[in-house]
Amino acid sequence: MGKTPCVILLGCLFLLGSCREKGAGGEAPPVDTLSLVMRVRECARLYTAEYEIHKLVLKDDPLHVKGNVFSRSFDLEVPIGERKAIVPIDVTLKAYIDFSGFDERNVVRSEGRIAIVLPDPRVVVSASRIDHDEVKQFVSLTRSDYTSAELAGFARQGEDEILGTVPDIGIFDMARENAAHVLVPLLAGLGYEEQDIVISFRKEFTSADMPFLLEREGKGGKLK
């Protein structure tokens, strides 16, 4: 499996322009937490990362003969009845942070320092497709080719395997870093020094969190 990460910062310049405080001479008056929260909410849904992942799904389906002889069961693999397939799939994952629910609980101030706890990231399967031109089947004469439904099922298995690797591919780190690229200038514009700004998620996310963080994006998330 290969992966090519590319950062999505489309709209970030607009966000910086709309979110940043414009103070004379680089100085900004102090703002209360509620005002800060309202400014951060202006960032709305911020797409922060995208991964294009190519995976080869390998399927081996040997022919088995099962039965009973003298009250003893048997299960034999028949060498001449093999059937294999290689199904290439391309899956696009996008990470975003939704600031619509951002509130005072996400802001911690202490002695000139400020910590922003980001809302939990979401990872969207925005596209998933089979490269039908590159599908390979190796089928014995005694077997039939895989059906389109079977190939689609294999591709969905491959997609599920990719989703299982989400905590390990760095997309959450990229989401946090790119959210910081937007929020740090905003907070600096409000009078904070960059070294006094901390941007973090509430926890390190693992595979156990994935059912709550993953979603499919409309029809774009269906296998083709």
Q: In this predicted model, what pLDDT tens digit does every residue of 4-54 receive, in sequence order?
A: 333 333 334 334 444 444 443 444 445 677 877 888 887 778 888 899 999
Number of separate domains in the chain: 1
Domain with 178 in it: 2-221
Residue 60 reports pLDDT greater than 90: no
Residue 157 reports pLDDT greater than 80: yes
What's the pTM? 0.68
Average pLDDT over residues 72-95: 77
CB 223 within 8 A of CB 128: yes
Residue 2 DSSP one-character state: E
Sheet of 107-110, strands arranged across: 107-110, 113-117, 197-200
The string of DSSP codes covering 93-128 is EEEEEEGGG--GGGEEEETTEEEEEPPPPEEEEEEE
**Mean pLDDT score of the chain, rounded to an integer?**
76
Residue 164 reports pLDDT greater than 70: yes
